[in-house]
Structure 1
Amino acid sequence: MSNAVSIVLSILFLSFTGVLTFFIIFHYQLQKAFRLPHVDCLYTPRDFNMKCQEHRIEIKDHKNLQLWEIDGKDSDLLFLGFSGWNKAADVLLPVTTRLRAFGRVFLLNTRNHCGSSDSPFLSIVSFRNDVQDSLAFIRKKYPEKRIVLVGHGYAAAVALYVQSMDTGIDGLILSAVFPDLEEVVRQRFLDNKVPASFLDNMTRFVEFRAGERFERVAPKRLLHLIRRPVMLYGEHDTLQILPDNPYIFKDAGRFLDRAYWVEDTAFLRLKKFIDHLNHFPENLQQIA
């Protein structure tokens, strides 16, 4: 009898150990893929001879966000750009030198970027929350201004997500928009040597941890729902499915009313940027 009990206890112990080992490996791979090391800024607005006021926005858990306010043209328009996944907001400083000719510019370093606090787990939801906290600060200071969001890569997906929940956003300027966040997450796991058989479970767990379904925040879906002027940049964008929507690009080689597609990969290097941007504020005024 004692031998039988011993065998049963051994099996239970091994089963418990196996399950525990699985969850340790699972958690390790998740942290390895999605724990973002702090991303430092290489430049500040002053490096581009732009006057800047720095704000600290208090958020939950005693953390804070760094928000740069950069002087621009005194108009009813302002721009809010923000950091992507592995790029701080300083990547948008060259573009800002052009945007400020049309209005005041704010650049937000989301958590784990430049002068903002760190968090152990980031997701598109945490980015959205940071942007929403910044918008609340900006609207309190400039309640009458019209707001255009500016995002590159991951930040472009965040901008679409924020706009889908905020009817007060008047326009978007986006570069390097990818179609599906789930594909990005899966590729990140593969890059970190996660076995393909684990991908479905780990992807669903990331959704659970973030509190949002990837399908709901997919840029290819949100662009179908857009009802604001959008300027899209990048001929090498991976976004192949563009919606039948009068506010954004539809046919190559021509511009639609309230829509701009720039056949140019040089968004962050300013090539031709100013030529197309000149028409965008006019486009915003058409739907005022």
Structure 2
Amino acid sequence: MALPDKVKIVEVGPRDGLQNEKEFVPTDIKVSLVNQLSDAGFLNIEATSFVSPKWVPQMADGAQVMEAIKRREGTVYSVLTPNMRGFEGALAAKADEVVIFGAASEAFSQKNINCSIDESIDRFEPVARAAKEAGIRLRGSISCALGCPYQGEVPVESVVHVAQRLIALGCDEIDVADTIGVATAAQVYRVMSAVTEKVDPRQVSGHFHDTYGQALANIYASLQAGISIFHSSVAGLGGCPYAKGATGNVATEDVLYMLQGMGIETGIDLDAVITTGQWISDYLQRPNASRAGKALVNKRAAVCT
């Protein structure tokens, strides 16, 4: 299959990237991060989540973030909503898209929320129905689609089943997520090909973590399978909770650098993203996890001197 000419990047740094930070990131920093990413040209940004502050204290200021950001015309601002209370918060905050999630791993579902995969998806029916009635985009994320920390291998049929269930709920888009970053290219191609036999590939996205350094290869395999939507996190924000110290989300700068080199259009200003990635890394006082970002920042410094 020919590779797509254009790809949509969903920037997840402000939500998925920051949610596990131990020190609370001030609201104005979160707002500035979203605004800088908006200015860089992203068509979809995960801005925050409406979850219980007890479980995710970092996202306790979700309403304030959504109220303060500058909304760029044409950009979809997404929020994670695990239940109706979260949806009501998202609706009040004028979110453009709400995100629900279910695991493809039965062991993961039982271990984390003490119910089966199908039961977990059933719980989202009220949220899905309310989103449709309110005219809000609905996205469904399939976690542990390519490997599970508890059961290991995840059957392809399970991923396809969850994708079909989420589409039946009315999801406009489905994320196939390698939550622990263990997948390799051939496996990704098989899974994506199986999913897109049942779901329109234009509704399927790839969400890859770079724990084992395979994320870019897995994105390329997805491109070969006809996928043209990918998630990434500026400066590689976000760690893998199942591999201490490991890289989490694939860095946006690395994805953009690869796609740019392949002549695939994204509509995103790579230089602006590099600046933002270094800014947030400096603020958090940690090394920039993007290889392309670090290299290009160093190249800028060499030119300046």
Scaled to the shorter chain, the TM-score interval is: 0.3 to 0.5
TM-score by length of 1: 0.35
Larger radius of gyration: 1
| TM-score, normalisation: structure 2 | 0.33
